[in-house]
Structure 1
Amino acid sequence: MKFSFFFLVVLFALGVNAQTVSLTPAHGPEPKINGPKVFGVRPGHPIVFTIPASGKRPMTFSASNVPDGVKVDANTGKITGSISKTGAYVISLQAKNEAGTVRRDFKIVVGEDIALTPPMGWNHYNIYGTRITQEDVLAQAKAMASSGLINHGWSYMNIDDGWQGERGGPLHAIQPDTSRFSDMKQLSDEIHALGLKFGIYSTPWVESYGHRIGGTAMNAEGKFEKTKEQVPRNKKQLPYAIGTYSFVDADVKQWALWDVDYMKYDWNPAELPETKMMYDALRNSGRDIVYSLSNSIPFATIADLSAVSNAWRTGGDIKDNWKSLKSRIPTQDKWAPFARPGHWNDPDMMIVGVVGWNAKDKWPSKLTPDEQYAHMSAWCLMSVPLLLGNDMTKLDDFTLGLLTNDEVIAINQDALGKQATVISKQGDLVVMAKDIEDGCKAAGLFNLADSGTQQLTLKWADLGIKGKYVVRDLWRQKDLGVFEGEFKTPVAEHGVVMVRLEPVPPPTLRSAMKPAVKNGGFKMPGYILWCPSVIKVGNTYHMFASRWPEQYGLGGWTKYSEVVRATSNNLYGPYTFQEVVLQKREGYWDNDRAHNPKIVKAGNTFVLYYISSANETGYATADKITGPWKRMDSLAMPFSNPAPLIRKDGSVYVFGRKAVKDIRIAQGYTAPSFKGPYTRLEAENLLPGLNQLEDPTIWWASGQYNVILSDFRGDATGVNKDGAQYYSKDGIHFALLSKESIYSKKVTYDDGSSFTFRRRERPFVFTNEKGEVTAFFTSCLTDKEQSWIEVQPVDKYIP
């Protein structure tokens, strides 16, 4: 392993003696969308979700590619409505304030699974015990909203044992204890109005742990009288047992009328019949209610129980001391195979902040700061429910920072839903790790020992990886450097260092690009030149490009664009105009314009692909590069910006852009030959999520499809319309090679000068017979609406 002394010093500072000062960097004023990237809802059920976004208020929200029946409230960010048809719907969320605009893809999956990421919220028990009131819950809900926790994904406000009164009402369901809760529906409405969700508690026993009415009874009327005897619990002895008469259906219907979103079902031992009965009732309620089993769920039957629940307790109640916490960190591995999106292991609630259970006088958690970091890190790595149990009206800066670190929370909310497991253990020195959706790794180096600071090592062999990785400290949101083979760090007693490992990407095209040739490329005074495409025939390079009179400005392409050919004996130019090749034709598919040409050779035939109106691509053919060109009478593919690739067997692969509503997504077509027929690939978007594009150029090298395109929305590079590089082995699933911008608006020339253009688009790569990229062309436009084609030599680049 190689790293500098500087990093050794930094690591020592990172891992030792955490203080009560928050490690989480301050959140800036700019908007940032946080929380889960995926959300599950059942067909036809109401969507209840608030976009978690930090940043200065006021903030407005919007979304594109939204399915019918779904709305986004511009002021609150609440997503509501319903979707009847099963499937995955990727929408693009946007948050905007005076400091900027941010977008993020959000996938709504309509199917049987809900809680596709672990629930995040609050439960009253660790602060109030069974002494809970409606006013207490509402105060805590308001604190969750006003403190900003809601902006980081915290959403559930769950009532535990202690709310239940007597059975009654039109449904003969459990009603609230009116001395504590005057109006449950009103409370639910007020919680939902804050953008939060509402949860409740019950038990299949006759009597709950807190001596309240349960979901069954030994009489048909469901009358309840608190036991006066000392009866052992968890032994199937009444009243701590399931009664003869069940009122599950009535209770669930009542909860649905109260708009309940979460239900904790508490008893022991948990068995399949009563678990399945409640699952079925909740499923048929017309509302998605997260179903959590408590407590000490038997491991022997978890395979069956996990199929009919969303979360389950893996042990008894937690306490705010190191012994209780430590026992839950390295011991959860056997449960890991059962954790998956929609179904989560639950080692119990969190014990940070001010707690107190049933005690009159509350107290700050007895865990040290390091222990609290270990607590939060372990819960996030294990992808378990994050349910606070503290007084949120008394959040200090340390606790707030602990609960609002979005990079740490993202590990918990990762859509892959993997639970971290122990990959290395030497006594009480434990390393846990997991895979995350983007192909990276997350790990925690835990010093659970009582003997001071210890040196821990994260070994690549234990992770099953090789090569160089960027190691990032998630708590400080800071890259620590590039490491190979292993990563070592000191870790404070009872503390943790939580990191993310991202593979160092292979070199991009940018690494091989040289300065642009000052007097190269293609210029035609009086014309805007756009969309270059170059092919070598003999010793001559032929450039096909779009042009139109400069007097019409950039927008003139829509009426006046035509395809021209220019030549040069030097790949880098300068190119000289030769002829107009194609113009628009009245009465045909290309009657609007001839634009965006791409020239390829298929066998002995030259094929010139081009577009007319949006989402219209066709082609012309010729036996010679100089023509004559024969055009097809109808379009070949209903999409734009074609990037064709002729395979060795003569078949064709075409990567392009399709405008769907207001989204520019990548689609692909294949054909047995350039003559067609062209068949669209099934994937809705060849790029990840809703990553948008313009202007792709494609080549085959290293056994893969390689694409450079204009990052239309900044999804890949973070900068709108900078160049991004993707690759794919199958031509269907493209991945981003690197976040590095391949090109920007600034061009540096071989004489040392530079110029920043208003627009720089339509990239084109030229490859030699070996598949090496040797030149990179772009269309450039100045502030004065002057345009030409720039070219940069490339040092024989192969991905």
Structure 2
Amino acid sequence: MLKILPGMWWTAVIILLLFNVAAMPWIRMQRVSADDAPPRAAPPETAEPSYPDLAANDEPLPRVNGPRVVGATPGREFIYRIPATGAPPLTYTVTDLPAGLTFDATTGIIRGKLEKAGTTSVAVTVRNRQGTARATLRIVAGNNKLALTPPMGWNSWNVWGTKVSDEKIRAAAEALERTGLAACGYRYVCVDDGWQGRRTPDGAMQPNERFPDMKALGDALHAKGFLFGMYTSPGPFTCGRYVGSWRHEEADAQLYARWGVDYLKHDWCSYEGIARQKTPEALQQPYAVMRAALDKTDRDMIYAICQYGLGEVWTWARTPTVGGNLWRTTGDIEDTWESVSSIGFRHSPLAGFAGPGGWNDPDMLVVGVVGWGEQTRRTRLTPDEQITHMTLWALLAAPLMLGCDLTQLDEFTRRLLTNPEVIAIDQDELGRAATRRDAANDGTEVWARPLADGCLAVGLFNRGDAMQTVTAYWKDLGIRGRRTVRDVWQRRDVGSFDERFAALIPPHGARLIVVGASRPVRPQPVKPAKVVSPPSPGLR
């Protein structure tokens, strides 16, 4: 045995050396992920950890959600469903309604026709057995007072494509209620391409067999407090090769008004063959024609200009002759990181063109179950990419138009879409879109937008392929001093910070925070938290 022991000792030494060599790449990887941060980043030990999950949004206490301001034209139909969450049953009370409007205390729906121009502050109270929530809603009556905040709702295209039907639209509206999305402010239900049939000999447009009665559909949506969206094209054909509105704009606009349409998407498509010269006049002309037709109706309709950013549409879409309330800034979005990233992060130079009444539109949200036809599937975006998608759209003050199958809404997607603090940022009545405040070669970026209460909404993004520390420096945000920080996706106060805030962000991920307004604060201790893994790919 004495002769064997030395051999065993050397064997142990060799095994230990081999183990250390094998472990070195892993050790190197850990050092890279910790030390290879941007030169200006805070030390990793001061950074907040990455997200373990999204906060739940189903508190029993009542809460009033959605925008705090809404506008309409006097003498035209007004429908507004107060978005409120909390354990049912909820009861609603409003005071100081402007003349011409009535209120249903059971459903929380305000409707009627405003009698005169002006702004009215309406006190809203929502109660249940757990408590009471109060808010002030400003109702603005006047000309060109639509879309004072970005529209929120659902559109059929990204899930059903041209296979849309009356049944699917009604199912989406029911799902908006059942899932709690309507209670969070999603109120437009939009029929996209594929509803059209043929024109009668006198030129009247008829829906196809999948839509037996468009007015009845609109009435059903209005009864629930939803608003009705419609789609057409300035060309002879739509993108799906259905009949467009070319040379029938006035007749179509009057038809939409009779159906009770509240939102019209006007999609360039086959007009490409008519406007062969892409001069500013040629690009604007078809949208000015439909604008004039809409103005001859007796109905308010949000006007969504869809022509993919041609001719820098953001520079002219709000002119009186065009009168757009939102305008697509890019081509169609796809459910890939390349598409979402390339579209969303190009909007910093366009921020100044957005504001109450008119919004940059980077296209619909591609989260949840999508499909563009009869076959549906889960989005190809990872959970972290979906968080980035929603974070960036909220910061951009973009329309939040869902494009998924709401009847298959999973819990992750529901939490993603119903966070009231994220929605409040998107719907902030100041209407200032975010701009890029800092960017590094490693793909990390910091964006921020001012809010009406004096706070800043700040997004920390990691467009890279490895976990990285992203730091928001106060001097890049135009602020100074000690500020409170609230984590919006986690819905928790993180603490107070001086000069900067840092967070570990997973690949293609984001952190959304609200930095408090300038005021004396008492530093709050921050409990140490463990570094956790990003959400599981199994949630896809």
Q: TM-score range by the shorter chain?
A: 0.7 to 0.9
Partners of 1:373 and 1:100 lie apart in 2 by 31
Q: Distance in 1 between matches of 2:453 and 2:296?
A: 35
Alignment correspondent of 1:298: 310
Equivalent positions of 1:222-237 (< 5 A) are: none
Answer yes or no: is the 8 Å Cα contact 1:50–1:78 preserved in 2. yes
Tell me the amino acid that sits aligned with residue 205 of structure 1: G
Of 180, 183, 191, the residue aligned with 2:210 is 180
**Equivalent residue of 1:126, what SS?**
helix
SS in 1 for 2:136: strand
Matches within 5 A, 1:724-763: none
Corresponding residue for residue 390 of structure 1: 404
Contact 1:377 1:496 in 2 (8 A): yes
The residue aligned with 2:10 is none
| DSSP-derived class of the 2:439 partner | strand
Return the offset for 1:69. 1.3
Offset from partner CA, 1:551-610 (integer Å, 9 cap, x none): xxxxxxxxxxxxxxxxxxxxxxxxxxxxxxxxxxxxxxxxxxxxxxxxxxxxxxxxxxxx
Choose which of 170, 173, 179 in structure 2 pairs with 1:141.
173
Contact between 1:188 and 1:259, CA under 8 Å: does it hold in 2?
yes
How big is the shift at 1:162? 0.3
Alignment correspondent of 1:284: 296
1:637-676 map, 5 Å: none
Matches within 5 A, 1:48-59: 48-59=79-90
Superposition RMSD on alpha carbons, in Å? Answer: 1.9
The answer on 1:43 being equivalent to 2:44 is: no
Residues of 2 paired with 1:140 and 1:81: CA distance? Answer: 25
CA distance in 2, matches of 1:8, 1:481: 17
Equivalent residue number for residue 421 of structure 2: 407
- 1:504 offset after TM fit, Å? 5.2
- Where in structure 2 are the equivalents of 1:96-495 lying within 5 Å? 96-111=127-142, 112-168=144-200, 172-177=203-208, 179-216=209-246, 246-267=247-268, 271-307=283-319, 308-358=323-373, 360-427=374-441, 428-450=443-465, 452-495=466-509
Q: Is the 8 A contact 1:215 1:247 kept in 2?
A: yes
* Partner Cα distance (1:8, 1:425) in 2: 18
Is the Cα–Cα contact under 8 Å of residues 74 and 113 in structure 2 kept in the other structure? yes
Is this contact kept in 1: 2:447–2:460, CA < 8 A? yes
- Give, in whole Å, the separation in 2 of the partners of 1:299 and 1:464: 33
Distance 1:163 1:301 in 2: 27
AA paired with 1:133? S
Q: What SS does the corresponding residue of 2:255 show, helix, strand or coil?
A: helix
Hey, what does 1:640 align to over in structure 2? none
**Contact 2:151/2:401, CA 8 A, preserved across alignment:** yes
Deviation at 1:119, TM superposition (A): 0.5
Amino acid at match of 1:85: K
Describe how 1:687-706 pairs up with structure 2 within 5 A: none
Letter matched to residue 417 of structure 1 = G
Counterpart-to-counterpart distance in 1, 2:474 and 2:48: 21
What CA deviation, in whole Å up to 9, does each residue of 1:453-476 have, x standing for no partner? 111110111111111110100011
Q: Give 1:425's aligned amino acid.
A: A
CA deviations 1:740-775 (Å, max 9, x no partner) are xxxxxxxxxxxxxxxxxxxxxxxxxxxxxxxxxxxx
SS of alignment partner, residue 415 of structure 1: coil
Counterpart position of 1:78? 109
Q: Alpha carbons of 1:208 and 1:443: their partners in 2 closer, same or farther (altered >3 Å)? A: same
How far the C-alpha of 1:158 sits from its partner, in A, is: 0.5
Indicate the SS of the match to 1:469.
strand
Q: Find the aligned partners of 2:111 and 2:361 in 1 and give their Cα distance.
A: 28
2:146 and 2:302 in contact (8 A); partners too: yes
The aligned runs of 1:553-564 (5 Å cut-off) are none
CA offsets, 1:287-315, max 9 Å, x none?
A: 11111011313243532223310001001
CA deviation map 1:234-270 (0-9, x unaligned): xxxxxxxxxxxx1111111111111111110000567
CA distance in structure 2 between the aligned counterparts of 1:94 and 1:280, rounded to whole angstroms? 40
**How far apart in 2 are the matches of 1:460 and 1:502?**
12
Cα distance in 2 for residues equivalent to 1:465 and 1:59: 41
Matched residues, percent identical? 41
Alignment match, 2:527: none
Amino acid of the residue matched to residue 62 of structure 1?
A: T
Structure-2 change in CA distance of 1:302 and 1:28 (3 Å): closer
Local SS of the residue matching 2:167: helix
**Structure 1 residue 279, shift from structure 2 partner:** 1.5
SS at the partner of 2:316? helix
Distance, in Å, in 1 between the alignment partners of 2:81 and 2:517 is: 33
Q: 1:429 & 1:8 partners in 2: Cα distance?
A: 15
Cα distance per residue 1:402-442 (max 9 Å; x no partner): 01000011000000111111110112111110111111100
Aligned length: 464
Provide the C-alpha distance between the structure 2 equivalents of 1:448 and 1:39, rounded to a whole number of angstroms.
35
Structure having the higher helix fraction is 2
1:468/1:503 contact within 8 Å kept? no
2:516 to 502, 511, 528: 502
Indicate conservation of the 8 Å contact 2:47/2:501, yes or no. no
Is the Cα contact below 8 Å between 2:48 and 2:502 reproduced in 1? Answer: no
Indicate the residue corresponding to 1:60 in structure 2: 91
Q: Which deviates further from its counterpart, 185-194 or 372-381?
A: 185-194
* Counterpart Cα distance in 1 of 2:521 and 2:214: 59
User: What letter matches 2:288 in structure 1?
Assistant: K
- Structure 2 CA distance, aligned partners of 1:352 and 1:300? 28
Aligned with residue 88 of structure 1, among 96, 119, 131: 119
Give, in whole Å, the separation in 2 of the partners of 1:84 and 1:8.
Answer: 60
Contact 1:470–1:504 (8 Å) recurs in 2: no
Q: Based on CA coordinates, which of the two structures has the bigger radius of gyration?
A: 1
Give deviations 1:298-356, integer Å, cap 9, x for gaps: 24353222331000100111111111111022211222121010100011111000001
The CA deviation string for residues 133-159 of structure 1, in whole angstroms up to 9 with x for no partner, is 111111111111111100000111101
The question of whether the paired residues in 2 share the 8 Å contact of 1:93 and 1:103 is answered with yes
Whole-Å separation in 2 of the counterparts to 1:326 and 1:9: 29
State the alpha-carbon separation in 2 of the partners of residues 110 and 9 from structure 1.
Answer: 53
SS in 2 for 1:130: helix
**Structure 1-normalised TM-score?**
0.57
Greater strand share, structure number:
1
2:388 aligns to what SS in structure 1? helix
In the TM superposition, residue 186 of structure 1 has moved relative to its aligned partner by: 1.2
> Do the aligned partners of 2:327 and 2:359 also contact (CA within 8 Å) in 1?
yes
**Structure-2 separation of matches of 1:364 and 1:459:** 37
Q: Secondary structure at the match of 1:457?
A: strand
Cα distance between partner residues in 2 of 1:300 and 1:64: 44
SS at match of 2:332: coil
Name the aligned partner's letter for residue 287 of structure 1.
Answer: R
The aligned residue for residue 11 of structure 2 is none
**Could you tell me which amino acid in structure 2 is paired with residue 438 of structure 1?**
D
Task: State how far apart, in whole Å, the 1-side matches of 2:46 and 2:358 are.
Answer: 39
Separation in 2, partners of 1:84, 1:136 = 36
Distance 1:434 1:109 in 2: 24
TM-score (norm 2): 0.83
**Once the 2 structures are TM-superposed, how far is the Cα of residue 505 of structure 1 from its aligned partner?**
2.4
Tell me which stretches of 4 or more aligned residues in structure 1 moved more than 6 Å: 7-10
Q: Give me the whole-angstrom Cα distance separating, in 2, the residues matched to 1:145 and 1:280.
A: 35
Whether the 8 Å CA contact 1:65–1:91 is kept in 2: the answer is yes
Distance, in Å, in 1 between the alignment partners of 2:333 and 2:251 is 32
Q: CA deviation at 1:282?
A: 1.7
For the 8 Å contact 2:283–2:311, the answer to whether it is kept is no
